[in-house]
Structure 1
Amino acid sequence: MTRSTMRGITVNQIGYPLYSNKHAVFTKEGTFQVIEEGSGEIVFTGQTGPLKNDDASGHMVAFGDFSAVNDVGRFYIRHEMDSVTSATFSILQRPYTELHHGLLKAFYYFRCGQELTPEFAGPWHHSACHLAKGFVYDNHKQLLDCSGGWHDAGDYGKYVVPGAKAVADLLLAYELYPSAFNRPTPIPETDGIIPDVLHECRWELDWMFKMQDPSGGVFHKLTTHQFPPLSTLPEHDLEPLVFSPISSTATGCFAAVMAKAARIYQPFDADFAHKCKQAAVLSWGWLVNNPDVIAFHNPPDIATGDYSDQQDIDDRYWAACELYGTTHDPIYHHALLTIHKEPFHKFGLCWSNIGGYGSLAYLLSNSTQTDLELYEQLLSDLRKEADYMLWKSTTDGHGISLLKDEYIWGSNKVVMNNAMLLLIAYRFFKDKRYEAAALNHVHYLLGRNSLDLSFVTGFGDHSVQHPHYRPSIADDINSPVPGLVSGGPNAGLHDDISKKRLQGLPPAQCFIDHEDSYATNEVAVYWNSPALFVLSHWEQQQ
């Protein structure tokens, strides 16, 4: 069987859940056949819908519905007119088990300050890295332990704000879908008692403690002055480490995720949960004492990612909601009720607008003292947001909630954040349309897109091979570290190779699988985390 280079039929290259809606995307109308891979038997014959213009990709596309195929197995699709075939895929009760496992295992590969041994890392093992103490910016005499945590992305920086978003996604996934994490990863801490997802989050949380100043303020990030060359293995990055100045956004996110962690870890480790709670309360005190935005911008001699943000109201709101959910102290309830009146997006799930985690904490709170008016308002806003995602999905040729101008840096993060929100709306409203729309986002990520590409390394018939990720670039292994979510199409063309090779292409086509394309093909912990949350929905034990 020869794969078409014309991308005539695209499918989810991993598979489709049994009894779900199943669609392929075609660039030609006509009759198609679903074929069982092993026997070559035609198990279904169908007709595509009419071709429609997909503005984002520049293609004329049609859906082909094969939902009637509910046999377990491996299949591919053939267009009867010209014998073009799709990638192979599975139909299973839970087709995403290995992918879910890989998305979680990726966080182990992102670990800093620990030797990744062949026992757990396979061929992608390497020595411990970044073990030296770091100095506080503008105070070179103040050296602090800064080991541990996750490398943020394709570089070796460690950042509080996106790290908090990643931990929040993992903790929320465990909170809502605990049975999805029954299987060990495994990682060095695997003990059969505490789920490995919580062991993994603790690796990052233990590092975050080191980012908190005695005042309660939190250093914004820990990096070298410049990014190391692409060919640098983590243990060879020996430049001085710098604690960048405290920011109110980092402090707010820290307080929020520590308060959430205090609840989640309480049944497993009460002492650790208490430590998380104390750290959250201390940082809240800093926020109260520093009511103005203390925004972060890179100092002139630091050129690593800055994650700058001119507002912190969303971070403060998240912190107040999580602290109220943990302590039930009316002080935090009063604070969140006050902050909620401010104009900011109440369901943002991005590091730059992260208030949605606060709203979710409030809606999921078991406190008997929630404000009914606020609770009902948040439910109404959640439904409106989900309905908007649903509307956008119906206008897109591949069924996702991105408009033409939303193919930005890290567009796959946006796709998965939107799928998260749809699944949370499904949890509250039981509207099957939300669940089906979220699954369409999964299909897009895993190959049912205009590039016929699975955006997760190591998964799919045709997956990303050359991510902007230093460990995979610098090692001598042909295959990239598996389970990493690539950033995805970015019409901004922010890097040189994108500008050279992607000029004039429609937004959804603005992607290049090349190690130099940091603007389309980098990886990041907070791109993996919403994908893990979303796949947990279909991995949970029924």
Structure 2
Amino acid sequence: MLARKYLWTVLLCGLSCLTSAGVAAERPLIMVDQFGYLPDSSKVAVLADPQKGFNATRAYTPGSQLEVRRVVDNGVVYTGNPTVWNGGATDAKSGDKAWWFDFSQLQTTGDYYIYDPETTGRSYPFTIGGHVYDAVLKAAMRAFFYQRVNADKLPPYADDRYADAASHGYAEQDFDARAMNPANPAVSDPATSRDLSGGWYDAGDFNKYVNYADGAIHDLLYAYQENSRAWGDDYAIPESGNGIPDVLDELKWELDWLLRMQNTDGSLLHKVTSIDWDDVSPPSTDLIPRRYAPATASATISGAGAFAHAAKVFGAFPEFSSYSAILEEAAGKAWNWLEAHPQAVPSLYDNAGFVTAGAEDCLYGSLDQTNCGLEQHANQVNAAIHLWVLTGEQRFADYIRQHAETDTTLMARGDLTHNGMAAESQDALLYYAAQPGADAALSGKIRSAYKDALSWRYAWTPFSPLARFKEGKDPYRAYLDEYLWGSNQSKSIAGTSLWNVLQYNVPVPEADVSNAKAGADGYLHYLHGVNPHAMVFLSNMGAAGAEDSVPEMYHMWFADNTQWDNIQTSNGPAPGFLVGGPNQYWSTAKVYIDGVQDSDHNLKSQPAMKRYWSWNNARQQSYEITEPAINYQAAYVRLLSKAVTGAGNADTTPDAFSFTNQVGVALSAAIASNPVTISGINSTSAISISGGEYRINGGEYTSATGTINNGDTVQVRHTSSANFRTAVVSRLTIGGIKRNFKSITVKKDAKPDAFSFSALTHVARSTVFESNTITVSGINAPAAIRITKGEYRINGGNYTNAAGTVNNGDTVQLRRTSSSKANTTVTTILRIGGVSGAFKITTTL
């Protein structure tokens, strides 16, 4: 975090806007996607004048014209006028007045920032390029690797800052999970032992739930199907390099666990969790026993759909032909159980004996026949669709025709939803309508219903994302009607619902195709910094280019006061986790944003979009705002993957590289980085630098934008600060990947090494004597010099008794008149920077 803030302050506003701590005083009020923009995408910065909430004391009215400037030389590349949002009204959800600055015409690759010449306001820097999100996608997918249960997270696959041995392999844990005994959860029956190993931690705790897993599985499978070119085999997980896209390798880890959750009769166990909350870090130290819940209809529905969808996708790979058959068999067994137990739907699991989440598949979490029935029947349509696509069996086609129009929100009510569980069926319906052999009449109804649901009037249906985008309903260009627990997942789902217009040929007017694309961009940009917090809602993303990402979140591994607590004080959490986001219904008392205890910073009094703060405290229910979850993560990854061009094209995005920071360097000196070798590209890649120079293959240093090839070495150089203990940061960008090289000057040292003067004895009385000469060493700044009872001279100059200064390497000599008395000693004391030396003269008898 500190390095990124140094970058921002040093490169863009100079030392004048640093606080005494050397960090940026306030986030900018000109918000941009901090990772950047694709050249042909919409690019709209949001300018805010806060009226309510934690930043209400700040005021900003933009000038009449704004500029886009290059980071490297501050050159102006685009100018335009901001447009006021909604006639200058204050938005109720954000508490802000706003303006939009559209610079979509700028498509030239490079690093830029937006500057207001009238007010000197500016944005964080950003990149325009074809691969600006590649590293972001890898980080977001690698978050699933860090969530693996029963797996080592060790180098080279894990960053050594987050290395941890396999978790939950102790007695009565995942390889020996026992059935819950509601009367006494601590006592178990060994006869009920099951191997339920594998899978992912569901969220910020270490538990595993079938009904939360299926949505994540579907979203990642769709992400692969909808843009397979985005997915490489180089995500640095243990399976990388096996010729299979790593998104599928990661999915297999979860699917293997899901298969273990299936009973021989086809039903699926509901969940496997600890008997108490795992307040333990790191995960490998957790010894709390684990229990599994009984099978439920909802979990069986979830398993049927996930198995069938995965069998279809994995079946396209010859290496997975047998695995696909296993998944298909599991899906069929689950459906057969549902057909044999129709009265079991909906299930109303009572969570007996557990303290962990019930995780029943019910609308709004209400445990009753109506709300659970709505969710579970809709998810059964989802499962039937994927089983029909996989097998073509008539029984599934019949079920779809009989239930799609009555059991899904889209068809029965004509509405879209951004609720994570409910969105599964609306995605499946579009997927069905795109399949060869789908019922033509039903497919037409699905597309028509989807088109209508995108564009309802606000008075009829507030969440109708295409209409709200065209109306400009949200100043931050990513409208939600409510900011619920997990609102960042809702943003991701909303963005994907607009992308679906392009993906599945929804019959909107031609002009609305571009509106849908721009609207989808808006939701992604919101998550990347175009929000009232000017924050990337992903953890610890400085290495991927974010100037201000989530520093702390609710996760038991990365808990308060651990070495992973906060990126400002420790390693911080692992990169790439999407946090839940603003939650307008969070209402715990006495929590203050940034610890500022006044009414403006009271978290529960914030407008909906500002009811967010990055902190980790279970007693204050921070998990309702800052906790990540696999279903949030997968929804975001699916949206993000649409903007990644993928390995099928020229690959100009290099493998990870880094420069070693240098601490304790000399002042105003030329400081060169370690050389690094560029790998992982198959085409010439752009290279640029801000705040320094670079050279390729040992050539001449330059600050001009250039190109670099695979196998080239690059080295960065800059001039260190003229001040002590001060950082200078250079940012090198290669193919959209940004890396910092930082030097910090030495600490001021004006205390010299010890020195001494030789004593003189048996000398004549009343005579002037000179000392031996000493050389001052061990200082890097001028040091004060003063003398008591005598004189000194520096470098052979004139003698003086006045206080002065001396530099490293100077010579100093003393003189003094001996006593007029026999056998008498006179002492002269020289002090340099707090170190003293005595020159003694003793007369003869």
TM over 0.5: yes
> Matches of 2:247 and 2:383 in 1, distance apart?
22
Deviates more, 1:411-420 or 1:25-34: 25-34
Partner of 2:431: 361
1:199 aligned counterpart, secondary structure: helix
Asked whether 1:29 is paired with 2:43, we answer no
- Which structure ranks higher in relative contact order (CA pairs < 8 Å, sequence separation ≥ 6)? 1
> Matches of 1:316 and 1:483 in 2, distance apart?
32
Residues 482-497 of structure 1 aligned to structure 2 (within 5 Å): 482-493=575-586, 495=588
2:447 aligned counterpart, secondary structure: helix
Deviates more, 1:498-507 or 1:128-137: 498-507
Identify which of 452, 458, 480 aligns with 2:540: 458
Identify which of 304, 312, 316 aligns with 2:356: 304
Amino acid aligned to 1:130: H
Deviations 1:250-298 (A, max 9, x none): 1111100100111111122110000000000000011112213243444
Amino acid aligned to 2:479: S
Deviations 1:344-380 (A, max 9, x none): 31365644323124313312323x2x21111001111
Calculate the aligned-residue CA RMSD, in Å.
Answer: 1.9
Asked whether 1:227 is paired with 2:277, we answer yes
Asked whether 1:163 is paired with 2:213, we answer yes
Deviations 1:188-228 (A, max 9, x none): 11234211111000000000011111121111111012221
Deviations 1:392-413 (A, max 9, x none): 232011111212xx11100000
Residue 72 of structure 1 contacts residue 91 of structure 1 at CA under 8 Å; is this kept in 2? yes
Partner of 1:286: 337
Pair 77,307 (structure 1): closer, same or farther in 2 beyond 3 Å: same
Pair 20,177 (structure 1): closer, same or farther in 2 beyond 3 Å: same
Residues 379-394 of structure 1 aligned to structure 2 (within 5 Å): 379-387=447-455, 388-393=464-469, 394=472
Q: Give the structure with the larger strand fraction.
A: 2
Partner of 1:295: 347
Asked whether 1:337 is paired with 2:388, we answer no
Asked whether 1:252 is paired with 2:292, we answer no
> Matches of 1:349 and 1:110 in 2, distance apart?
24
Pair 52,91 (structure 1): closer, same or farther in 2 beyond 3 Å: farther
1:538 aligned counterpart, secondary structure: coil
Residue 69 of structure 2 contacts residue 76 of structure 2 at CA under 8 Å; is this kept in 1? yes
Residue 349 of structure 1 contacts residue 357 of structure 1 at CA under 8 Å; is this kept in 2? no
Amino acid aligned to 1:104: M
> Matches of 1:364 and 1:94 in 2, distance apart?
29
1:84 shift after superposition:
1.6
Residue 31 of structure 2 contacts residue 46 of structure 2 at CA under 8 Å; is this kept in 1? yes
Deviates more, 1:448-457 or 1:291-300: 291-300
2:399 aligned counterpart, secondary structure: helix
2:197 aligned counterpart, secondary structure: coil
Residue 7 of structure 1 contacts residue 450 of structure 1 at CA under 8 Å; is this kept in 2? no
Asked whether 1:480 is paired with 2:553, we answer no
Partner of 1:510: 611
Identify which of 121, 135, 147 aligns with 2:178: 135
Amino acid aligned to 2:30: I
Pair 498,507 (structure 1): closer, same or farther in 2 beyond 3 Å: farther
Gaps of 5+ in 1: none
> Matches of 1:6 and 1:499 in 2, distance apart?
18
Identify which of 545, 554, 557 aligns with 1:468: 554
> Matches of 1:21 and 1:205 in 2, distance apart?
37
Pair 338,495 (structure 1): closer, same or farther in 2 beyond 3 Å: farther
Residue 430 of structure 2 contacts residue 447 of structure 2 at CA under 8 Å; is this kept in 1? no
Identify which of 120, 129, 136 aligns with 2:157: 120
Partner of 1:325: 389
Partner of 2:421: 352
Identify which of 107, 131, 138 aligns with 2:144: 107
Partner of 1:148: 198
Residue 221 of structure 1 contacts residue 244 of structure 1 at CA under 8 Å; is this kept in 2? yes
Task: Give the TM-score normalised by structure 1.
Answer: 0.95
Residue 386 of structure 1 contacts residue 434 of structure 1 at CA under 8 Å; is this kept in 2? no
1:499 shift after superposition:
8.5
Residue 72 of structure 2 contacts residue 111 of structure 2 at CA under 8 Å; is this kept in 1? yes
Pair 202,350 (structure 1): closer, same or farther in 2 beyond 3 Å: farther
Residue 25 of structure 1 contacts residue 64 of structure 1 at CA under 8 Å; is this kept in 2? yes
> Matches of 1:349 and 1:163 in 2, distance apart?
17
Partner of 1:92: 129
Residue 220 of structure 1 contacts residue 296 of structure 1 at CA under 8 Å; is this kept in 2? no
Identify which of 94, 113, 117 aligns with 1:57: 94
Pair 174,304 (structure 1): closer, same or farther in 2 beyond 3 Å: same
Q: Give the structure with the larger helix fraction.
A: 1
Deviations 1:421-472 (A, max 9, x none): 1111122147121111000001100000011111011221111010101222
2:609 aligned counterpart, secondary structure: helix
Partner of 2:29: 8
1:94 shift after superposition:
2.6
> Matches of 2:252 and 2:302 in 1, distance apart?
16
Partner of 1:207: 257
Identify which of 110, 121, 124 aligns with 1:73: 110
Residue 498 of structure 1 contacts residue 512 of structure 1 at CA under 8 Å; is this kept in 2? no
Deviations 1:91-137 (A, max 9, x none): 11231111011111111011000111121111211010112311122
Amino acid aligned to 1:337: R
Pair 67,286 (structure 1): closer, same or farther in 2 beyond 3 Å: same
Identity %: 26
> Matches of 2:604 and 2:636 in 1, distance apart?
29
Partner of 1:398: 476
Asked whether 1:434 is paired with 2:516, we answer yes
> Matches of 2:434 and 2:575 in 1, distance apart?
33
> Matches of 2:233 and 2:452 in 1, distance apart?
36
1:455 aligned counterpart, secondary structure: strand
Residue 413 of structure 1 contacts residue 527 of structure 1 at CA under 8 Å; is this kept in 2? yes
Asked whether 1:415 is paired with 2:478, we answer no
Deviates more, 1:203-212 or 1:87-96: 87-96
> Matches of 1:264 and 1:494 in 2, distance apart?
43
Amino acid aligned to 1:408: L
Asked whether 1:425 is paired with 2:508, we answer no
> Matches of 1:349 and 1:248 in 2, distance apart?
24
Deviates more, 1:339-348 or 1:54-63: 339-348
> Matches of 2:94 and 2:238 in 1, distance apart?
44
Amino acid aligned to 1:326: L
1:384 shift after superposition:
2.3
Amino acid aligned to 2:77: V
Pair 6,361 (structure 1): closer, same or farther in 2 beyond 3 Å: closer
> Matches of 1:413 and 1:234 in 2, distance apart?
25
> Matches of 1:245 and 1:79 in 2, distance apart?
61
Residue 184 of structure 1 contacts residue 192 of structure 1 at CA under 8 Å; is this kept in 2? no
Residue 245 of structure 1 contacts residue 296 of structure 1 at CA under 8 Å; is this kept in 2? no
**What is the count of residue pairs matched by the alignment?**
537
> Matches of 2:68 and 2:557 in 1, distance apart?
40
* Structure ID, larger Rg: 2
> Matches of 2:75 and 2:25 in 1, distance apart?
20
> Matches of 1:286 and 1:494 in 2, distance apart?
42
Pair 74,29 (structure 1): closer, same or farther in 2 beyond 3 Å: same
Pair 277,498 (structure 1): closer, same or farther in 2 beyond 3 Å: farther
1:183 shift after superposition:
4.6
Pair 362,432 (structure 1): closer, same or farther in 2 beyond 3 Å: same
1:478 shift after superposition:
1.9
